[in-house]
């Protein structure tokens, strides 16, 4: 691993540590061992199959929801059809690629105000209008666990 790769890794893990370690209000319903912080950015992901590192055309944008030292979550319009993925964090040319496994998914309503409302287990009709007519979009919140740092193959090493 080059010095640049080591520096990028260190910066990425420092960012995760800072975000996940920031003070927050305790939530008695929190069941996870690692604290999560809002991570309201758009990043790119690609399903990770047995065919090696995904090509650039396989990556697509997702709106992230939160981040911890152990993983992150994001929204999709429907349940994922994959169990492993590559997340591309950062901006070119300083991209960091991390492998992750899907841990869970849940149906939610994402309100324009930013409020995320879980709809699992609700009886009856689900309203897509929140307080004061705040419209909501049905989405799937996908939670992932980081598995390893990945290296994108050089352009001349990529499959053709």
Q: Can you give the residue ranges of every domain in the chain?
A: 3-22+35-150
At 98 the pLDDT is 95
* Residues comprising the chain, all counted: 160
SS (H, E, C) 71-87: EEEEEECCCCCCCEEEE
At 90 the pLDDT is 86
At 115 the pLDDT is 87
Separation of alpha carbons 33 and 43, rounded Å: 24
At 19 the pLDDT is 45
Separation of alpha carbons 117 and 66, rounded Å: 15
Residue 25 burial by Cβ neighbours in a 10 Å radius (0-12, 13-18, 19+)? exposed
At 94 the pLDDT is 83
Q: Which two tokens stand for residue 111?
A: 């309100």
How far CA 18 is from CA of 13, 47, 123, in Å, comes to 8, 27, 39
Per CATH, the number for 3-22+35-150 is 2.40.10
Chunked mean pLDDT (size 10), the chain, 160 residues: 51 56 44 72 93 93 94 96 95 89 95 85 52 79 96 69
At 104 the pLDDT is 95
Q: Please report the beta strands in the chain, taking only residues with DSSP state E, as ranges in sequence order.
A: 37-38, 42-47, 60-67, 71-76, 84-91, 94-111, 116-118, 136-150
């Amino acid at each position: 691993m080059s010095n640049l790769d080591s520096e990028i890794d260190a910066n990425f893990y420092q960012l995760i540590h800072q975000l996940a370690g920031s003070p927050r209000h305790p939530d008695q319903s929190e069941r996870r061992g690692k604290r999560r912080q809002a991570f309201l950015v758009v990043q790119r992901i690609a399903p990770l199959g047995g065919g090696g590192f995904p090509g650039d055309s396989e990556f697509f944008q997702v709106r992230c929801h939160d981040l911890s030292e152990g993983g992150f979550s994001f929204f999709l319009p429907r349940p994922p059809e994959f169990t492993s993925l590559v997340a591309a964090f950062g901006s070119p040319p300083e991209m960091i690629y991390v492998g992750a496994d899907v841990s869970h998914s849940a149906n939610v309503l994402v309100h324009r105000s930013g409020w995320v409302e879980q709809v699992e287990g609700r009886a009856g009709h689900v309203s897509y209008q929140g307080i004061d007519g705040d419209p909501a979009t049905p989405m799937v919140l996908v939670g992932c666990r980081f598995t390893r740092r990945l290296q994108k193959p050089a352009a001349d090493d990529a499959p053709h």
